[in-house]
Amino acid sequence: MIFSKTAISLVCVLLLLSVFMANLLKIIATDHNFYAENQSEGANFTSYLGEKYGKINDSPHNLIWFLQISDIHISIFRDPGRISQFQQFCDSTVKKIKPHIVLATGDLTDAKAKDNLGSSQVKTEWVYYYNIIKESGVTEHTTWLDIRGNHDNFNIRTLNAQENYFRNYSVQGSTNSRSYVHIVKHNGVSVAFLGIDACPEPGLRRPFNFIGILDAQEQQVIQRLKTVAESNADHIVWFGHYPTSCILPLQQDSEKIDVRQFMGNTKGSQVYVCGHLHSMGGMVPRMYTKHKKGYLELELGDWKDNRMFRLAAIDHGLFSFVDQKHNTWPLVLVTNPKHARFTLPGREPLQLMPQSSHIRILAFSDVKMESVKISFDNISWMKCKGTNKPLFVCLWLPHVFKAGVHKLYVSAVDEMGRKTDVEHLFSLDGSVVPFEIIPRILLMLDAGVVFQALFGTLIMINVLPLVILRLQKRPPKYRRKYGRQILRRVWLLSKIDRVFYPIVLYAIYLPLGPWAVGELIDGYIGAIFAWGILIKGSFIPEPFTYMYGSVQLMFVQIPLIVVLAHCLETRLFCQNIRSYQRLLKNLPFIFILSIQLLLAYFFWLEYGTLSFMFGPLRTWSVALSILLWYKTLTLPPELCRYLTRLNETPS
């Protein structure tokens, strides 16, 4: 049987797509049985925790809770509500909830210029942060653990630079300038809060400060902190600014060590909490996953625009959490039975849930709580007893729910009549609730690899079609009329040496040559390449450069080929049109040129005049586009006749 080229191409595409999907699903799989692979170790550890904590009843013991806030972005140029409501959070919310720890996971200040593109540390913003915490007295009621984010590292030459205001205006900066561990032993629970500072050194201005980097020195620090944590605590809560998908692999003895493996191989690891991605502008509000090593990663929505914070608790070794919008009361967290989606076999004593005598709920409000009720059918309700507020308990019969996933309904009302209803899924036999797929992709893929793959794909799209079409002697065949016209135009364009070679050579240059040379940090000249950045005699492997170059390819270079092909048609077949019609024919190029000029202008605001002048990626490409457009519209008559004859060649 003879197969058509289209059928063979379709089969190849489907085969590649199936391989890609299989690999993707393998990477983001959350059903990996960590407990089965580490059964002996996990059983011993959870057995130890079970014996230590004993039966879950109505006692307030063996319970600790803490808060997280992230991406505050205190700014003197925009949204004063960030500052005033953050002050309210410190003055009121923290004091009402009375957590043992508050984690502030980076981007404490905005560090962006008034034009929203330039970036540098603004001392006034740090003074606001410092004064709010000091004047609120929040550190007298709880332990405040803050850590740097990428915005807190913009335009900082060294860790000891004067501009590194984190050292002097944060709570932890004077004693813990980078990664550190804090041990809490309270109410029968011992927890190590281990903060990871993955900010690169030196800290570039935006946007090339998106990916976290743990160098060899910081890796050694974290290794020591890990040993301290394992020796002094039963539970480890990791915290930092960057999600693990945005942290480059560690280097140890010339071998790459994945930070996820590093955390997962630590005894007692339960969760890594972070920020940075801002819940993708609020589009992915529940960015949670469980890694193959059996611990959770939870990205928290930002304070900047969404005013989110997180309440988390460890109750008899069981980790639970809820994300809440500021000034939304009552705040309710069910700690037993814990949510079925977030169970951690081998890392927490899940065997205590089916043996428990009471349902346990934390309920907070800025006024007195009136009542907390529970139901399993949303019809008949049982009132919970407030034994030691904020803990509310209620007797239950867990053996009734021994198989499958069940729903627990909670209704909490405060004395102002405000009501919060919670639908809580739980299981006692190991039945799980799956994680959403988009959060798994965002947290479990490697952002650097994705950026690099996208850039490489776009380079090939920019080059290969032109090369293939140039080698073809006849116009390409295509069934649909509009697609056939575009292919024929690009085919003709590929035959013009003065256009073909500059486009192809420019695309080949992008992965190899410098994109810009300029003052990337105040007082320091550096060079930006696709594969990283050279500055101060050091190399920063910043993968976000690939994404930056992908924008140029996607929105400028690839559309430019189609636009030039359209301009070629104007040159060959539209000689006798009127001037306004000729202008309309050139509108697509004017649009592409406008995008280029805008991108070049943004680059000038980000990195200054020197980078703008010596910038092949943004600035010089504008001149190249104008030159190619001019050459296309001013082809010599003999070349026009040659192309006209080619166009008349049958497909």
Domain map (residue ranges) of the chain: 329-438, 447-647
Exposure string (b/e) for 31-40, b if CB count within 10 Å is 16 or more?
Answer: eeebbeebee
CA torsion 541-547-549-553 (nearest 10°) is: 150
CA 168 to chain centroid: 28
Instruction: Return the pLDDT at 2.
Output: 46
pLDDT tens across 392-423, in order? 999 999 999 999 999 999 999 999 999 999 99
Instruction: Return the pLDDT at 233.
Output: 96
- Cis check for the bond before 207: say yes or no (omega within 30 of 0): yes
pLDDT tens across 337-379, in order? 999 999 999 999 999 999 999 999 999 999 999 999 999 998 8
Instruction: Return the pLDDT at 252.
Output: 53
Q: How far is CA 269 from CA 46, 98, 296, 436, in A?
A: 12, 24, 9, 22
Domain spanning 329-438: which CATH class is it, in words? mainly beta
DSSP 8-state secondary structure symbol assigned to residue 427: E
- The predicted model gives 96-122 an average pLDDT of 93
pLDDT tens across 593-611, in order? 999 999 999 999 989 899 9
* 224 phi/psi in degrees, rounded to 5: -65, -40
pLDDT tens across 243-299, in order? 999 998 755 555 566 889 889 999 999 999 999 999 998 899 999 999 999 999 999
Q: In 3-state terms, what secondary structure has residue 102? A: strand
pLDDT tens across 542-564, in order? 899 999 999 999 999 999 999 99
Q: In 3-state terms, what secondary structure has residue 265? A: coil
- Residue in 576, 579, 570 with CA at minimum distance from that of residue 633: 570
Q: How confident is the prediction for the chain on average, in pLDDT?
A: 90
pTM as predicted: 0.91
Instruction: Return d(Cα 56, Cα 351) in angstroms, integer.
Output: 10
* 272 phi/psi in degrees, rounded to 5: -120, 120
Looking at 8-22, 73-87, 593-607, 631-645, which range is the least confident one?
8-22
Q: How confident is the model at residue 580 (pLDDT cuts 50, 70, 90)?
A: low
Higher pLDDT, 538 or 388: 538
Q: How confident is the model at residue 86 (pLDDT cuts 50, 70, 90)?
A: very high
Instruction: Return d(Cα 139, Cα 145) in angstroms, integer.
Output: 10
pLDDT tens across 141-194, in order? 999 999 999 999 999 999 999 999 999 999 999 999 999 999 999 999 999 999
- Residue in 156, 446, 76, 105 with CA at minimum distance from that of residue 276: 105
Q: Is pLDDT above 50 for 1? A: no
Q: Is pLDDT above 90 for 33? A: no
* CA quadruple 621, 626, 628, 629: dihedral sign: positive
- Residue in 201, 218, 116, 215 with CA at minimum distance from that of residue 164: 201
- The predicted model gives 446-451 an average pLDDT of 92
Q: In 3-state terms, what secondary structure has residue 446? A: coil
In sequence order, the 6+-apart residues with CB closer than 8 A to the CB of 17 are none
Q: Is pLDDT above 60 for 91? A: yes
Looking at 143-157, 436-450, 525-539, 637-651, which range is the least confident one?
637-651
**Residue 326, number of CB atoms within 10 A of its CB:** 16
- The predicted model gives 46-75 an average pLDDT of 95
Going through 253-290 in order, the beta strands assigned E by DSSP cover 255-257, 269-274, 287-290
Transcribe 294-352 into DSSP letters: S-EEEEPPPHHHH-EEEEEEEETTEEEEEEEETT---EEEEEESPPGGG--TTTS-GGG
Q: Is pLDDT above 80 for 522? A: yes
Q: How confident is the model at residue 3 (pLDDT cuts 50, 70, 90)?
A: low
Instruction: Return d(Cα 411, Cα 528) in angstroms, integer.
Output: 56
Strand 235-240 relative to strand 189-196, pairing: parallel
